Amino acid sequence: MADSMSVNRALFDEVMVPNYSPSAVIPVRGQGSRVWDQQDREFIDFAGGIAVNCLGHCHPALVDALKTQGEKLWHLSNVMTNEPALRLAKKLVDNTFAEKVYFANSGAESNEAALKLARRWAIDNFGEHKSQIIAFKQGFHGRTFFTVTVGGQPAYSDGFGPKPADVVHAEYNNLESVEALISDNTCAIVMEPLQGEGGIIEPISEFVQGVRALCDKHNALLVFDEVQTGVGRLGHLYAYMDLGVSPDILTTAKALGGGFPIGAMLTTTEIAKHLKIGTHGSTYGGNPLACAVAEAAFDTVNDASVLTGVTNKSARYFAALNAINEKYNVFSEVRGKGLLIGAVLNEKYQGRAKDFLVAAMEQGLMTLVAGANVIRFAPSLVIEDELIDEGMARFEKAVAAVTAG
């Protein structure tokens, strides 16, 4: 196995649980928004590890942080704290609505913590009856059993036996559907400030304002899942900052570590006090290596020029996709915000998003899907304009190949 060429796609089928079906392409190195596979074939990365690699591959600031911390301290239990965790938590608190931070390993774990905290807060303050969680159809919050139940996609949650109880789903962007479900038994409304896996659906401003008002009316917490939208993805440090509302709890992961696994839950002091000593925990949460890399990623992204650049680069993507559509007539809509963009296939190409993804790979471009009908783009926040143009030229060739049959 010393020869890297002996590590191939067939080995996956031999040794891995078959819940994934990865491409035959096996990347071995990356730099910025370019990736090379085992055969040294180059790809432009418009996928970003599903909105994770916010600074591309091997960004110098992240590499330096990892090397520096890697020679100091790798891991401690939470019987002790550590400097990188405290520095990162202070920066998150100083730059958001939050007053307290809880670290985890992933978005799902961060959401698990948020849901448990919301329930505990409600039960402590109001009693056992206040346990209902309202989420949204086509939402996505992770793959633990609690988070996948809250996520509004039965295909991901069915078939595992009885689900956690008292979770209901409203229609996104439909305030009346929320009003029909909410009561004084509701402990929290959980929502993405832009639905990612559900198809890149932006919220209507009045909808978000209305959800906040309903939470206030019924003494329920508003939980924003910013796992995919956070850390600059939509052109603000966090998406709530452009919506005119603040959540009570916010979760963040993916881009937070720029590729190193880390997640966090942010909340207020008053709410946080309900996670007393021993009520929740994570072995690797607050890991010094993860927090050191995340601090470097946070510092790099939390810069006016980078955040402004996201908006400018977004316009470049939209222009290119609309130009392709004028020529090939494959999209009913190009939607999204910042650098989380969805090209929605029209009726003629329904269900064929993966065909476009595969065709793009053949042209040397890595993209994503968001369901069967949406091609998703989540590139590095600092991708060069020339690479956007080159990648879009490759994507046009992929579109031409699919439409040619």
Please report, in range form, the residues annotated as the binding site for N(2)-acetyl-L-ornithine. 143, 282
Give yes or no for a contact between 191 and 171, defined as CB atoms under 8 angstroms apart: no
Looking at the DSSP bridge assignments, the partners of residue 267 are 100, 249
Measure the CA–CA gap between 199 and 156, rounded to whole angstroms: 15
Measure the CA–CA gap between 208 and 234, rounded to whole angstroms: 16
Q: Specify binding-site residues.
A: 107-108, 140, 143, 225-228, 282-283
> If residue 167 lies in a helix (H) or strand (E), which one and from where to where?
strand 167-170
Angle at 334 between CA 135 and CA 193, to 5 degrees: 25
Q: Specify binding-site residues for pyridoxal 5'-phosphate.
A: 107-108, 140, 225-228, 283
Those residues whose C-beta lies under 8 Å from the C-beta of residue 333, and which sit 6 or more positions away, are: 344
List, in sequence order, the alpha helices (H) in 127-221: 145-150, 154-157, 175-179, 205-217
Q: What is the DSSP string of 245-291?
A: ---SEEEE-GGGGTTS--EEEEE-HHHHTTS-TTS---SSTT-HHHH
Give yes or no for a contact between 263 and 252, defined as CB atoms under 8 angstroms apart: yes
